[in-house]
Amino acid sequence: MDQLVARKEVQFDWAKFVWIGTPEQTDFLLFIRSDNSNKNVDDLRKAAEPPKCGSTGTGSPQYHIPRLLEGTLTVKFNLITGYQGAPDIDLALERGEIHCRTITIAAYSGREPFLTWGKNGFLRPLVQTGRKRDPSLPNVPTFYELMDRYNTPEAGRRLATVVLAPSEFGRPMVTTPGVPAERVKILREAWNKTLKDPELLAEAKKRDWLVGPVAGEELAALAKDVVAQPPEVIQRLKKLLGE
C-alpha cells in the first residue's frame, strides 16, 4: 500500500521480490455484538446509526477492513482508534463501549475470549474476507459474495484486491529480487515438499496450527496484480488510508 500511494520511504519495487510460498492464508472476520440491532450487512446498509468498531490505529486490518466495506458495500461504521492492543479492544467490546471488531478467523476459532463468546451467543459473525467460506464459518458470507450481491463496480473490486492482499499472502517466505530462476525452482520445490511432510503436518496438528499452503507462483501473480492499479483505485486507496 505504501508503494501504491508513493510514500517516499519506499525504495523498492514490491512486485519484484521472489515469492517462495506461504503455509497459510490469514483471512479475517468482522463480527458484531449479538445484542446490536444490525443483524447482517443488509441492516448495516440501512442503519441510521453506524456501529462503533474498535482498532489500534489507522494502519491495522481492524481499520482497513471496515473502511473497505464502507467504500465498496455502502455501509457505515464509526471507527474508534487508539486502543493499545487487542485485549483492550476485547474489553471495550465486552463493556459495550464498541459493538464490532475485526480479527483473523484462526484467532476467532482458536482462542479465548472468542471461543466462549461464540458458544454463549455474545457475538454474531457478519462477513469473512476469504474468496471462499471457511469450513468453520459455513453460514457467513464472504466479502466477494457480497460484492457480487450489491454489484460493486470494478474499481471497488480492485481496491478490495489491494486491501485484502495481506490476508491472501498470509505469512509468506520471500527472497530478494534477481535470484536465478533455477535457484527459485529449488527453493519452491523444497518449500512445497516440506509442507507435505507427514511429520511436520502431525506437529502442526498437535499445536493446532492451520496448514493451507499456497505456492510461490500464485503469490507472484497476485503481487503483480496488486501493484498494477489505475489512478482511480490509487486515489480511493489514499482516501481509505487517510492520505
Burial class (CB in 10 A: 0-12, 13-18, 19+), 116: exposed
Mean pLDDT of 102-111: 89
For the chain, domain boundaries: 14-24+171-230, 28-165
| Sign of the CA dihedral with 224 first, then 210, 26, and 44 last | positive
Over residues 181-238, the pLDDT tens digits come to 999 999 999 999 999 999 999 999 888 787 889 999 999 999 999 989 999 999 999 9
Supply the DSSP string of 96-129, one letter for each residue: TS--EEEEEHHHHHHSTTHHHHHHTT-EEEEEE-
Q: What integer pLDDT is reported at residue 242 of this predicted model? A: 75
Q: What integer pLDDT is reported at residue 59 of this predicted model? A: 80
The answer regarding whether domain 14-24+171-230 maps to CATH 3.40.190.150 reads yes
Any idea which architecture 28-165 has in CATH? 3-Layer(aba) Sandwich (3.40)
How confident is residue 243, by pLDDT bands cut at 50, 70 and 90?
Answer: low
| CATH topology match: 14-24+171-230 vs 28-165 | yes
Q: Average pLDDT of the chain? A: 92
Residue 23: which of 193, 182, 143 has the closest Cα? 193
Over residues 35-62, the pLDDT tens digits come to 999 999 999 999 989 999 999 988 888 9
Only one residue has cell 492451520, namely: 210
Task: Give the count of alpha carbons within 13 A of 159, CB side only.
Answer: 26
DSSP character for 32? E
